Chain A
Amino acid sequence: MNPLSKISAAALTAAALTGCATGLSKNDSAEMSASSAALSAGAGKTGHIVTIGDVHEYRLANGLQILIKEDHRAPVVVSQIWYKTGASYESNGTTGVAHVLEHMMFKGTKTLGPNEFSRIIAANGGRENAFTGQDYTAYFQQLEKSRLPISFELEADRMANLNLRAEDFAKEVKVVMEERRMRTDDKPRSLTYEHFAATAFVNSPYHQPIIGWMNDLENMNVDDMRNWYKDWYAPNNATLVVAGDVDAKAVFELAQKTYGKVSARPIPTLKPQTDFEQKGIKRIVVKAPAQVPYMLMGYKVPVVATAKTDWEPYALEMLANVLDAGESSRFAKELVRGQQIATSVGAGYDLYSRLDNLFIFSGTPAKGKTIDELEKAIRAQIQKIKTEPVNQAELDRIKAQVVASKVYEKDSLFYQAMQMGTLATVGLDWQLMDQFVERLRAVTPEQVQAVAKKYLIDDYLTVAVLKPQSTPAPAAANGGHSHAH
Chain B
Amino acid sequence: MPINSKNSKSKNMNNKLFFGLLMSSILFFTALIGTTASASPDIEHWRTTNGARVYFVPAPELPIVDIRIIFNAGAARDEDMPGTAILTNGLLAEGAGGLSANQLAEQFESIGARFGNSAQRDMAILSLRTLTERKIFDSAVNTLTTILTQPDFPKTAFERERSRLLTTLKRNKQSPGKQANETFFNALYSKHPYRNQPTGTEAGINGLDTAKLKAFYDKYYVGSNAILAIVGDLSRADAEQLAQTLMGKLPEGEPADDIPPVEALTDSKEIRIDHPSAQTHILVGQPGMKRGDPDYFALYVGNHILGGSGLVARLSNEIREKRGLAYSSYSYFVPMQQNGPFTIGLQTKNESANEALKVLRETIGTFVKEGATAEELEAAKKNITGGFPLRISSNKKIIDYIGMIGFYQLPMDYLDTFNERVQAVTLEDIKTAFQKRVHPEKMITVMVGGDVNSIGKE
Is A2 close to B, CB under 8 A? no
Q: With a CB–CB cut-off of 8 A, which chain A residues contact B411?
A: none
Given contacts A123-B386, A181-B349, contact A129 B105 (CB under 8 A): no
- Which of A5-13, A48-56, A232-240, A322-330 contacts its partner? A322-330
CB <8 Å contact, B14 and A131 = no
B112 closest partner in A (C-beta): A404
Is A413 close to B, CB under 8 A? yes
Which B10-28 residues have a C-beta within 8 angstroms of A?
A: 10-14, 16-27
Which A93-144 residues have a C-beta within 8 angstroms of B?
A: 99, 102-103, 105-106, 114-115, 118-119, 122-127, 129-134, 142-144
CB <8 Å contact, A475 and B386 = no
| Cα–Cα distance between A422 and B21 once the two chains are bound (Å) | 11
Q: With a CB–CB cut-off of 8 A, which chain A residues contact B109?
A: 325-328, 397, 400-401
B279 closest partner in A (C-beta): A181
- Which of A21-29, A219-227, A357-365 contacts its partner? A357-365
Is B45 close to A, CB under 8 A? no
Which of B22, B276, B383, B387 is within 8 Å of A289, CB to CB? B276
| Cα–Cα distance between A191 and B276 once the two chains are bound (Å) | 14
Interface string of B158-198 (1 = CB under 8 A from A): 00100110111011011111010011001100000000000
Which A358-407 residues have a C-beta within 8 angstroms of B?
A: 358, 360, 364, 366-367, 393, 396-397, 400-405, 407
CB <8 Å contact, A172 and B386 = no
CB <8 Å contact, A130 and B26 = yes
Given contacts A124-B382, A125-B382, A210-B23, contact A400 B274 (CB under 8 A): no
Which of A320, A328, A407, A410 is within 8 Å of B16, CB to CB? A320
Task: Quote the shortest CB–CB distance from B221 to chain A (angstroms).
Answer: 21
Interface string of B312-339 (1 = CB under 8 A from A): 1000010011111111100000000000
Q: With a CB–CB cut-off of 8 A, which chain A residues contact B63?
A: 407
CB <8 Å contact, B387 and A400 = no
CB <8 Å contact, B176 and A144 = no
CB <8 Å contact, A327 and B271 = no
CB <8 Å contact, B275 and A484 = yes
| Cα–Cα distance between A125 and B64 once the two chains are bound (Å) | 29
Is A279 close to B, CB under 8 A? no
Given contacts A118-B310, A411-B62, contact A404 B278 (CB under 8 A): no
- Which of A151-159, A256-264, A265-273, A337-345 contacts its partner? A337-345
| Cα–Cα distance between A211 and B27 once the two chains are bound (Å) | 14
Is B388 close to A, CB under 8 A? yes
| Cα–Cα distance between A353 and B18 once the two chains are bound (Å) | 10
| Cα–Cα distance between A11 and B252 once the two chains are bound (Å) | 64
Q: With a CB–CB cut-off of 8 A, which chain B residues contact A143?
A: 387, 390
CB <8 Å contact, B9 and A350 = no
Interface string of B369-388 (1 = CB under 8 A from A): 00000000001001111111
Interface string of B81-92 (1 = CB under 8 A from A): 000000000000
Is B270 close to A, CB under 8 A? yes
- Which of A32-40, A72-80, A246-254, A446-454 contacts its partner? A72-80
CB <8 Å contact, A348 and B20 = yes
Which of B14, B274, B379 is within 8 Å of A122, CB to CB? B379
B130 closest partner in A (C-beta): A404
Is B450 close to A, CB under 8 A? yes
- Which of B243-251, B282-290, B391-399 contacts its partner? B391-399
Q: With a CB–CB cut-off of 8 A, which chain B residues contact A410?
A: 62
A405 closest partner in B (C-beta): B13
Q: With a CB–CB cut-off of 8 A, which chain B residues contact A75?
A: 389
CB <8 Å contact, A123 and B383 = yes
Which of B101, B279, B386 is within 8 Å of A124, CB to CB? B386
Q: With a CB–CB cut-off of 8 A, which chain B residues contact A408?
A: 14, 64, 114, 129
| Cα–Cα distance between A407 and B102 once the two chains are bound (Å) | 25
CB <8 Å contact, A186 and B171 = no
Which B406-427 residues have a C-beta within 8 angstroms of A?
A: none
Which of B111, B170, B272 is within 8 Å of A292, CB to CB? B170
Which of B163, B276, B311 is within 8 Å of A106, CB to CB? B311
Task: Quote the shortest CB–CB distance from A381 to chain B (angstroms).
Answer: 16
Is B150 close to A, CB under 8 A? no
Q: Number of B interface residues, CB 8 Å?
A: 106
A480 closest partner in B (C-beta): B273
CB <8 Å contact, B321 and A114 = yes
CB <8 Å contact, A181 and B278 = yes
| Cα–Cα distance between A312 and B64 once the two chains are bound (Å) | 32
Q: With a CB–CB cut-off of 8 A, which chain A residues contact B160?
A: 336-337, 340, 366
Is A83 close to B, CB under 8 A? no
Which of A144, A291, A321, A412 is within 8 Å of B394, CB to CB? A412
Q: Number of A interface residues, CB 8 Å?
A: 113
CB <8 Å contact, B163 and A403 = no
CB <8 Å contact, B17 and A352 = yes
Is A185 close to B, CB under 8 A? yes
CB <8 Å contact, B21 and A350 = yes
CB <8 Å contact, B393 and A73 = yes
CB <8 Å contact, B325 and A178 = yes
Which A58-94 residues have a C-beta within 8 angstroms of B?
A: 73-76
Q: With a CB–CB cut-off of 8 A, which chain A residues contact B175?
A: 186-187
CB <8 Å contact, B393 and A413 = yes
CB <8 Å contact, A326 and B379 = no
| Cα–Cα distance between A324 and B105 once the two chains are bound (Å) | 13
Is B210 close to A, CB under 8 A? no
Interface string of A406-442 (1 = CB under 8 A from B): 0111111101001100100000000000000000000
Task: Quote the shortest CB–CB distance from A165 to chain B (angstroms).
Answer: 13
| Cα–Cα distance between A324 and B8 once the two chains are bound (Å) | 13
Is B49 close to A, CB under 8 A? no
Q: With a CB–CB cut-off of 8 A, which chain B residues contact A291?
A: 170-171, 173-174
Which of A74, A404, A474 is within 8 Å of B275, CB to CB? A474
CB <8 Å contact, B173 and A343 = no
Is B295 close to A, CB under 8 A? no
Given contacts A119-B312, A407-B64, contact A484 B24 (CB under 8 A): no
Interface string of A462-485 (1 = CB under 8 A from B): 000000100111110111011110
CB <8 Å contact, B451 and A125 = no
Task: Quote the shortest CB–CB distance from B308 to chain A (angstroms).
Answer: 11
CB <8 Å contact, A326 and B276 = no
CB <8 Å contact, A125 and B10 = no
| Cα–Cα distance between A69 and B170 once the two chains are bound (Å) | 45
B380 closest partner in A (C-beta): A122
Q: With a CB–CB cut-off of 8 A, which chain B residues contact A405?
A: 12-14, 112
| Cα–Cα distance between A19 and B11 once the two chains are bound (Å) | 37
| Cα–Cα distance between A332 and B396 once the two chains are bound (Å) | 26
Given contacts A481-B274, A482-B274, contact A327 B101 (CB under 8 A): yes
Q: With a CB–CB cut-off of 8 A, which chain B residues contact A289?
A: 174, 276-277
- Looking at B64, B111, B166, B386, the one whose CB has the most chain A CB atoms below 10 A away is B386
CB <8 Å contact, A366 and B163 = yes
| Cα–Cα distance between A405 and B130 once the two chains are bound (Å) | 10
CB <8 Å contact, A178 and B348 = yes
A residues at B contact (CB < 8 Å): 73-76, 99, 102-103, 105-106, 114-115, 118-119, 122-127, 129-134, 142-145, 147, 170-179, 181-183, 185-188, 193, 210-211, 289-292, 320-321, 324-328, 332-333, 336-337, 340, 343-344, 346, 348-350, 352-353, 357-358, 360, 364, 366-367, 393, 396-397, 400-405, 407-413, 415, 418-419, 422, 468, 471-475, 477-479, 481-484
Can you report 13 A-B residue pairs in the complex whose CB atoms are below 8 A from each other?
A74-B394, A126-B387, A134-B22, A142-B390, A325-B13, A336-B164, A337-B101, A343-B164, A352-B17, A364-B167, A400-B111, A481-B453, A482-B273
Beyond the given A130-B25, A327-B105, A482-B274, could you list 17 further A-B residue pairs with CB under 8 A, ordered by the A residue number?
Answer: A122-B310, A122-B382, A144-B389, A178-B349, A181-B279, A292-B167, A292-B170, A320-B16, A326-B11, A352-B17, A410-B62, A411-B396, A412-B394, A422-B21, A472-B275, A475-B273, A483-B453
